[in-house]
Chains A and B, each alone.
Chain A
Amino acid sequence: MSDSILQELAAIVGTDNASDDPFILDEYSRDQSFVPPRRPNYVVRPGKIEEVQEVVRLANSHTMPLIPYSSGTNFHGGCVPQHGGILVNLQRLNRIVDIDERNWHALIETGVTYSQLQPELEKRNLRVAAPITSPPSASVLVDYMERNPVVTAADFIFGNELFSTYDMVMPTGELFTVGHPPTVKARWMAPDGPALDFYRLFMGAQGTLGIVVRMAIRLLPLPSAQRVFFIPADTVKQAVEIIQRIERKELGLECFALNSFDLAALIVEDPAQDKKLRRGAYIGNHGARPWAAKQVAQFKKLRASLPPWTVVICLTGWARRAEEKLEYQELDLKDVATEFGFDIKRNVGAITGLDKIIREEVILPWRMQKRFGYKGSCHGLMFHARPDTVPELEAAITEVASKYHYLSSDIGGYLLPIERGRTIYCEYDLHCNLDDPADSRSVRELFEEASTAVVDKGGFFDRPYGVWADIMYRQAGTYTEYLKKLKRQLDPNSIMNPGKLCF
């Protein structure tokens, strides 16, 4: 080990946890997105918060970039080291420090995954709210910091900012606790404060303002009873209207809509990959293994049997009088359906066991990974929209797609109402084979042009990964200017994940 920086890193995290082996660096140089790959100079795997602090101080002393990396499930270039540097793999920081059953909280470190946490919670009749699009191997903490919308997003309390406090290693190496300072023995309360709402400032920062190492997340009770209903819709406009009608009545806990592509991808079987899917290891840094022709045919047959859009609503009862709650909510749902002229069904497309699939997916999702296997990689246009603009935004995407001779039936569609449908989170997926240069280039250009079209029509990329950063920040003049000023103050050596956002 002749490299002095590597020696210093090894002195902090141990020889086995610091590397400049080109083979290992290659593994961290890319993800399945269109973001150009670049190797880090070093990879370290700290096992303690103090080690993270030491690594940050060391990076400052050498003015070397730091790239926080948690579970490897960012598929949008968020952890690709655009300027090289030290990649800090936080997977060893994976302790479930505490589960507070009484107050519905868990204190977890960055490397804790859904598949690690959920079984522990189920023993206590609790659950963690997960995004239906995240693999089970994803970091809970990073999903929450990056505002990846969870499947319960329609609920006002259980849908957003599901944490109470977190600990962050600042770019100086100082540990900073964000949230309401304790005045009694209570360990976690509200995320506000101290003084300012710092927690909002650091969310969505893609590791550019510090490294979050520990978080008190908020939990939900495990359902005692669930009933799933499906509402077919011919158009996205109809799907959005159905969602808003239901949500205005505050009915159900989970609500979302899938187009025929995404619903077929959710339910198509792939037994050979089952273990990988359940582990969350289906998607690598070069995407997933493309489906065989037989599976593609099965998928297309399934897709053709499904309505263009399906709204899924899950009624949930907890410990007390769960069935009674489902009874009244089902009657109320039927009333809404009658009033506004739509059908509610217990199944769609004659799929066996669809109800069970949805009930499992809303607790510990894993099946949506399969969509990455359609062609090998999946490039989501992930944005928020005013409900009434969603049809126009979808039209803008399909118009650009047709220009690139991309079939509109090959666009995956997922709509998630936020806070009772005040806003709709939209994810429209484009698929390509990264090993086919022509296909890859065409879809990349389509992705970029469609991204611009989305923003031009009022769609909002609140998590501006990759090319979205330029599209968003060049239009947000004053906002961008002050973000840059803050970055200079908080991270004067610009070591934290440089090249991301507007930094």
Chain B
Amino acid sequence: MIEPHVYQAIAEVVGPEFVSDDPVVRQTYSKDGAFPAIIKRYKKDPSAIPDLVVLPASTEEVQGVVRLANRFGLKVIPITTGSNMVSLCIPSEPRTIALDLKRMDKIIDIDERNMTATIQPYVSFARIQAETMKRGLWNGGTPLAPGSCGLLSNIINSGTWQSALAYGAGLRSLVNLTLVLPNGDILRTGSAAIPQCGNFWCQGPGPELKGIFEFTNHGGLAVIVEATVKLHPWAGGKWPQEEIYNRPPLPANHRIYYIEYSNIESMNEAMYQIAHSGIGTHLNGASNGWVTSMTQRTEELAEKRWHEGFFPKHMIYVITAGISSPRQLEYEENVLKDIVKDTGGKFRDDLREEMSTWHGDAFCDGCGSRFQRHGSFSSMKLGCGHIDNHREFYERSQEIVKRHRHYMFDEETPWVYIFERGYYALFEDDTVFDQSDYDEVKQARDMNIDGFIRTPKEDLLDLGYYYSEPLITIFSSMVGPNLKHWVAQIKRIFDPNYTMNPGKLISLEK
């Protein structure tokens, strides 16, 4: 319950039409596709519903709202496009404001010469790609999520893009941030910290404060109101053509290869060799279950293809780009053919037609929307490792499938991302489930938690396993006994009144 005078003060900052305590409006901010929010909904837990929804339009309005929140003891959860899949924007304490940033939707600048874009929080992947591709640039892809997903919040949460082979993990894409701290101060990072230097370089001066707001911060320290992100050369020309958006041709100056392997070991060897040869922008490992769910146009067709084992059990795909010229495409194809021959792979050009939706998803839209046809899905990020660890992740995945009811990925390998020319890889399995079936939700949740890491479930169930604190507890023994202490100290410095997204980063002693 927000007192009338507090409501009035906030309304004076953002305008009365952009603040609401209407229960119907508020309830829409209590839902996402992940277990913590779903479980709370089934339990009719009112803490999931914010007390107020506020839509600021500017940095100054965000400052005004967080200052009032601090003054009146309210909590603030920043929300961008609402496509968070792990309940990071679901309240967990009373007197919470859902700070919806959708009115902050401007692409402030695209610096073509220096290959950067400066954006506000609500700018989506689709928008940044549409605008940058016109200029011969792109941001590197999407996180296998709908194009409506917010670029800024995805990067901050360590988003993973298809071109991670050539352009790295999402967090490598960030130049600078402009943040509103809980006391209303503005903090600019990197070269933007010095007004006349401008917004071009990401490190320093001296220690880099940007790191504190990255990775699993989850809006727990500040509201990010502006970010400058890196762009890369785009060789694909005008793309996609609107009229055939769902099945676009491959962009110009790009080639895609599907390669089947008979076992994980030879697949791993091929992935090492491709990554270490320096070719390609995209390199992933996939399996029948993954490919059917990502590429088929209907749920029925996906199930049919899955049951008949239409796609290979062990498959990699590679995308190459002719960034300097078409000669690059020829050279890289020659190298790839050598590797495939040496590692016993088989090109599957015959899959191109069935995979045609992927020609768009690999660059632009993302298959998240197709994944969710079953109602909901949750990512079971098995973890990062070396490419050779693929076998261990596969076996872990198999163990989990045996212990739990499985949904789609029986006897499949995890989805594999190869990062940064093979320095490491990410292995992921997902569960799909129907939110309207509580038993199915619980089974999927248990399976998912089991897949994430072997840890006491009671630490994870209600908090949500993507929240930082349980992970900090788990990892403290590995990385240094006082990790929790260091994180809590940083939280105290930036957010002493525990205003920002409580419970998601770390809990402070009252």
Q: What residues make up the interface of A, taking CB atoms closer than 8 Å to B?
A: 102-105, 147, 156-158, 161, 164, 170, 172, 174-178, 180-186, 188-190, 192-206, 208-209, 218, 221, 244, 248-251, 318-321, 324-325, 328-329, 331-332, 335, 384-388, 419-423, 455-464, 469, 472-473, 475-476, 478-479, 482-483, 485-486, 489-490, 501-502
The answer on a CB contact under 8 Å between B483 and A147 is no
Q: List 13 A-B contacts (CB under 8 A).
A: A103-B387, A104-B276, A157-B423, A164-B423, A172-B482, A177-B478, A183-B384, A185-B392, A328-B324, A385-B200, A460-B205, A462-B203, A475-B194
B209: contacting residue among A183, A419, A479, CB under 8 A? A479
Is there contact, CB below 8 Å, between B276 and A318? Answer: yes
Report whether B204 and A464 are in contact in the complex, using a CB–CB cutoff of 8 Å. Answer: yes
Q: Is B431 an interface residue (CB 8 A)?
A: no
Most buried by A among B197, B328, B453: B197
Task: Tell whether, in the assembled complex, residue A478 and residue B384 are in contact, meaning their CB atoms are under 8 Å apart.
Answer: no
A464-B206 CB under 8 A given contacts A197-B214, A332-B324: yes
Of B42-50, B93-101, B241-249, B486-494, the one touching chain A:
B486-494
- Bound complex: CA of A156 vs CA of B421, how far in Å? 10
A201 and B486 alpha carbons, distance in the complex (Å): 12
Q: Is the CB of B424 within 8 A of A206?
A: no
Is the beta-carbon distance between A201 and B212 smaller than 8 angstroms?
Answer: yes
Per-position 1/0 for B99-130, Cβ under 8 A of A:
00000000000000111100000000000000
Inter-chain contact B114/A386, CB cutoff 8 Å = yes
- On whether the beta carbons of A194 and B475 are closer than 8 Å, the reply is yes
Contact assessment for A102 and B388 in the assembled complex, using a CB-CB cutoff below 8 Å: yes
Which residue of A is nearest B481, CB measured?
A: A174
Which residue in A103, A186, A319 is a CB contact (below 8 Å) of B277? A319
Which of A170, A184, A251, A464 meets B324, CB within 8 Å?
A251
Contacts of A248 in B (CB 8 A): 233
Residue of B nearest to A168 (CB): B480
Closest to B272 in A: A102
Interchain CA distance A325-B181 in the complex, whole Å: 50
A181 to B168 CA separation, bound complex (whole angstroms): 18
**B327 interfacial contact with A, CB 8 Å:** yes
Known: A332-B327, A422-B200, A475-B195. A174 touches B388 (CB 8 A): no
Measured between C-beta atoms, what is the minimum distance from B427 to chain A in Å? 9
- Once bound together, how far apart are the Cα atoms of A334 and B230, in whole Å? 27
A218 contact set on B, CB distance < 8 A: 423
Are B384 and A204 neighbours in the complex by a CB distance under 8 Å?
A: no
Interfacial chain A residues near B148, Cβ < 8 Å: none
Answer whether residue B420 sits at the interface, using C-beta atoms and an 8 A cutoff. yes
Additional 20 contacts, C-beta under 8 A, given A201-B211, A328-B327, A479-B189:
A103-B387, A180-B424, A184-B385, A188-B424, A189-B385, A190-B423, A196-B213, A196-B216, A198-B211, A204-B205, A321-B338, A331-B325, A332-B328, A385-B200, A456-B196, A461-B205, A478-B186, A478-B187, A482-B187, A483-B209
Contact of A158 among B206, B421, B481 (CB under 8 A): B421
B209 partner residues in chain A, CB cutoff 8 A: 201, 479, 482-483, 486
Which residues does chain B contribute within 8 Å of A251, judged by CB atoms?
A: 324
B216 near A193 with CB under 8 A, answer: yes
8 Å CB contact of A157 from B338, B383, B421: B421
CA distance A384 to B185 in the complex (A): 27
* Chain B hits for A184, CB < 8 A: 383, 385, 389, 392-393
> Which A residue sits closest to B338, measured CB to CB?
A320
* Interface segment, one of B59-67, B294-302, B329-337, B356-364: B329-337
Once the chains bind, are A180 and B384 in contact (CB under 8 Å)? yes
Closest residue of chain A to B382 (Cβ to Cβ) is A183
Instruction: Report yes or no: B327 in contact with A147, Cβ–Cβ below 8 A.
Output: no
Cβ-neighbour of A332 out of B272, B325, B506 (below 8 A): B325
* Pairwise interchain contact B327-A320, C-beta atoms closer than 8 A: no
A386 contacts across to B, CB distance below 8 A: 114, 198, 200
Decide: A244 near B388, CB < 8 A? Known: A195-B471, A197-B215, A489-B489: no
Establish whether residues B207 and A189, one from each chain, have CB atoms under 8 Å apart when the complex forms.
no
Contact of A183 with B328 in the complex, beta carbons under 8 Å? no
Within 214-250 of B, Cβ neighbours of A (below 8 Å) are at 214-217, 230, 232-233
- Looking at B196, B206, B339, the one whose CB has the most chain A CB atoms below 10 A away is B206
CB-CB < 8 A to A455: which residues of B?
Answer: 194, 196-197
Q: How far is the CB of A500 from chain B (nearest CB, A)?
A: 8
CB contact between B386 and one of A103, A156, A200, A485 (< 8 Å): that residue:
A103
Chain A residue contacts of B233, Cβ below 8 A:
248-250, 420
Q: Is the CB of B191 within 8 A of A460?
A: yes
Chain B residues packing against A (C-beta within 8 Å): 113-116, 158, 166-169, 171-172, 181, 185-189, 191, 193-198, 200-201, 203-217, 230, 232-233, 272-273, 276-278, 323-325, 327-328, 330-331, 334-335, 338-339, 382-389, 392-393, 419-424, 453, 468, 471-472, 475, 478-483, 486-487, 489-490, 492-494, 505-506
Inter-chain contact B325/A328, CB cutoff 8 Å: yes
Question: A186-B389, A206-B206, A250-B324 given as contacts; is B331 within 8 A of A328 (CB)?
Answer: yes
Contact B212 A196 (CB under 8 A): yes
**Cα of A332 to Cα of B326 in the assembled complex, Å:** 9
Task: Tell me, in angstroms, the Cα distance from A194 to B214 when the chains sit together.
Answer: 11
Q: Which residues of B contact A209 (CB under 8 A)?
A: 207
- Which single residue of chain A is at the shortest CB-CB distance from B392? A184
Q: Is the CB of B423 within 8 A of A103?
A: yes
Given A384-B201, A501-B206: A176 touches B214 (CB 8 Å cut-off) = no
**Measured between alpha carbons, how far is A317 from B506 in the docked complex, in Å?**
48
Q: Tell me how far the C-beta of A128 lies from the nearest C-beta in chain B, rounded to whole angstroms.
A: 14
- Bound complex: CA of A422 vs CA of B133, how far in Å? 17
CA A105 – CA B385 in complex, angstroms? 13
How many angstroms from the CA of A79 to the CA of B56 in the assembled complex? 48
- A219: nearest chain-B partner, CB-CB: B423
Q: Are A196 and B324 in contact (CB under 8 A)?
A: no
Shortest A207–chain B CB gap in Å is 11
Within 8 Å CB of A249, what residues of B? 233, 323-325
In the complex the two chains form, is B422's CB within 8 Å of A490's CB?
Answer: no
CB distance from A250 to the nearest CB of B (A): 5
A489-B210 Cα distance, complex, nearest whole Å: 18
Q: 4 closest pairs, A vs B, by CB?
A: A200-B211, A462-B204, A197-B211, A183-B383
> Do residues A157 and B205 form an inter-chain contact, with CB atoms below 8 A?
no
Which residues does chain A contribute within 8 Å of B204, judged by CB atoms?
147, 204, 460-464
Most buried by B among A158, A175, A320, A463: A320
B203 contacts across to A, CB distance below 8 A: 147, 200, 203-204, 462
Cross-chain contact of A186 among B323, B386, B420, B487 (Cβ < 8 A): B386
Q: Is A194 within 8 A of B422, CB to CB?
A: no
Bound CA–CA A209/B185 (angstroms): 24
Task: Give A77 to B399 CA distance when docked, in angstroms.
Answer: 56
CB-contact partner of A192 in B113, B169, B187, B482, under 8 A: B169
CA distance A485 to B334 in the complex (A): 56
